[in-house]
Chains A and B, each alone.
Chain A
Amino acid sequence: MVKRKSGMYGLVVKDSLEVGEAFIKVERFENHLKYRRSMKGDVKEAILDKNALVETRPIYSLFYPSFITGYILVALSKPVVLSPKSSLRIQLQLPVDLALYAVSGDFYQLIDLVPLHSNYKYALYGPVISSVEVAGYIARLVRAEPVAEDTVEPSERHCLTRVLIVNKTQDFAKVSKILLDAKPLKIFYIPGTWKCYTQDIKMVLNSSEHASVLYEEKPCEECTELEEPEEFKGLLRALSTEMLWGY
């Protein structure tokens, strides 16, 4: 039994674990496991059979306080300006939460979620209602700083996202927000570390109002792909996300 004091992804919790203000305890009995997590007076418990393991994994910051949307609207802290017919790769840190999964062989079940951030907000991308029935989207609002250097590593509690922005227009373009769809966007992590990445993204600016966000390559060879959350199973996945109301 190894007692660990800090969390990381892909860790089988055998005894106890502290992540931020959350204290997680797993007790093994003869024929079952007891899971208990306490955080700011909030306690969550579960009983598992003896074959199950409790494992930590990153999860999109979409499930706390409750799951209401699969979209993430990344508001850039500074705009990215591109000249006509040019491209630039930027890197962003997207916040993630910590998921506690019951794992048995290839099967898994989310049993708890530890929020790792303080302020969870949502925003509307697009119009409230439209006469052609294409209304906007409610999206989890994430503020991120765009970094142009390639050497950036994922910071704790965040996933590193590489975005190649391609300006196809004949004019300068200023990008201040990116709409991502978590359903096609895969998360990858390196087990035993806090390192988390998303699939590479290509954002094509088609006009001054319209951009297409495409989901591309796996970010690193040694990464483990995160299994899709329960909420996303069986859904049709779009290959791209269309930003119809500006970027």
Chain B
Amino acid sequence: MSLLEPVLGFLNNPQLLSIIIALIIFSIGYFVALVIRRVVFKVGIRFYARNIASIVSKIIYYVVLLIALSAALGYLGVELTGLIIAGGFAGIIVGVALQPLMASFFAGLYVMAERIIQQGEVVSVGNTMGEVVEVSLMFTKIRTFDGVLVTMPNSQLLSTVIQNYSKAVARRLEFTVSIAYSEDAEKAYSVIKDAVDNHPYVLADPAPDIFVSKLGDSGVVITVRVWVPRTLVYPVTKDLLWKIKKSLDQAGVSIPFPQLDVWIKTPVTLKKEEGSG
């Protein structure tokens, strides 16, 4: 009995009992927050990137924790209205001050969730084209093909046109070749077709498209459209036009240079200068 007396006396103190119950409420809230955080993270990484799953799970964790804290304080009779109003004002002030940062933050979340661009992809954002090095919550880093690292706020990603070249498995390339009017167009066509068909990286399906697209000022313009694997766009661009040029040269098909015929109505007398040979 002597041992139970202090315990019962302790429990008879209503203030102490309230504190214990408040602590229990907060502990339960804390435990629930931990469980929810883990579950959200584990489920999230199945569908989204690891960093986004981590961020979302942390946000939910802190929200649940805040609710638990509010409930515990509420049980203790702490008036939260003033705190909430003060917090609201502080939130508005901080929100206005950090508006650009918050915009980038939420844009970053959206970009990651939607997988608009991802690390390693080749993209064009506004005037910047290159490989994505990193997508973080605030910034996206792109390394341009001439080796410059461009860091842009994520908010900019949502306000501009993004071209993602890595989403397609193949890309179409287009070349134009001009041949002189005096040349045999059929022969030129078959020479170009052979060059295209013999190139290993020009896809057989979708089939290449070769056609006369314009009767130009200086020659007949032939357009060549080919599909190539996405990763080989640059080497094929460099290689194919060169091969077409060489094939046309070997076949004796001349590529015209820009020329202009001038007709003079009145006769022109050409005078030979003394000592000009």
Partner-B contacts on A (CB < 8 A): 65, 68-69, 119-124, 126, 128-129, 133, 135-138, 141
Contact = CB atoms under 8 A, between A and B. Distances in A.
Shortest 5 CB-CB contacts between residues of A and residues of B: A123-B205, A129-B168, A120-B200, A121-B204, A138-B229
A123 B204 contact: yes
B203 interface: yes
A141 B204 contact: yes
Interface string B208-236: 00000000000000000001010110000
A138 B169 contact: yes
B120 interface: no
Given A68-B229, A121-B200, A122-B229, A135 B205 contact: no
A245 to B, nearest CB: 12
A39 to B, nearest CB: 16
Contact of A124 (B167, B169, B231): B169
30 contacts: A65-B200, A68-B231, A68-B232, A69-B229, A120-B200, A121-B200, A121-B204, A122-B200, A122-B201, A122-B229, A123-B203, A123-B204, A123-B205, A124-B169, A124-B170, A124-B203, A124-B205, A124-B206, A128-B168, A128-B170, A129-B167, A133-B167, A135-B168, A135-B169, A136-B169, A136-B170, A137-B169, A138-B229, A141-B204, A141-B205
A120 B204 CA distance: 10
B47 to A, nearest CB: 13
Contacts of B2: none
Main secondary structure of the interface of B (DSSP, over half): loop
Given A135-B167, A135-B168, A119 B198 contact: yes
A124 B227 contact: yes
B229 A129 contact: no
Contacts of B170: 124, 128, 136, 138
B114 to A, nearest CB: 11
Contacts of B231: 68
Contacts of B171: 128
Contacts of B169: 124, 126, 128-129, 135-138
Contacts of B204: 121-123, 141
B94 to A, nearest CB: 38
Interface of B: 167-171, 198, 200-206, 227, 229, 231-232
A138 B201 CA distance: 10
Contacts of B202: 121
**Residue of B168, B169, B227 contacting most chain A CB atoms (<10 Å):** B169
Contacts of A129: 167-169
B117 to A, nearest CB: 13
A122 B203 contact: yes
Nearest to A118: B198
A123 B205 CA distance: 5
Contacts of A65: 200-201
B239 to A, nearest CB: 11
A126 B203 CA distance: 13
Contacts of B198: 119
A128 B170 CA distance: 6
Contacts of B203: 121-124, 138
Given A68-B201, A68-B232, A137-B169, 7 more contacts: A65-B201, A121-B200, A124-B205, A128-B168, A128-B170, A129-B167, A129-B168
Nearest to B164: A129
A136 B170 CA distance: 9
Nearest to B235: A66
Contacts of B227: 124, 128
Contacts of A123: 203-205
B225 to A, nearest CB: 13
Nearest to B229: A138
A122 B231 CA distance: 13
A221 B171 CA distance: 45
A65 B200 CA distance: 8
A121 to B, nearest CB: 5
Contacts of A119: 198, 200
A178 to B, nearest CB: 14
A126 B125 CA distance: 28
A68 B206 CA distance: 17
B52 to A, nearest CB: 17
Contacts of B201: 65, 68, 122
A68 B204 CA distance: 15
A31 B158 CA distance: 64
Nearest to A120: B200
Nearest to B205: A123
Contacts of B232: 68
A121 B167 CA distance: 22
Nearest to A121: B204
B162 to A, nearest CB: 14
Nearest to B207: A123
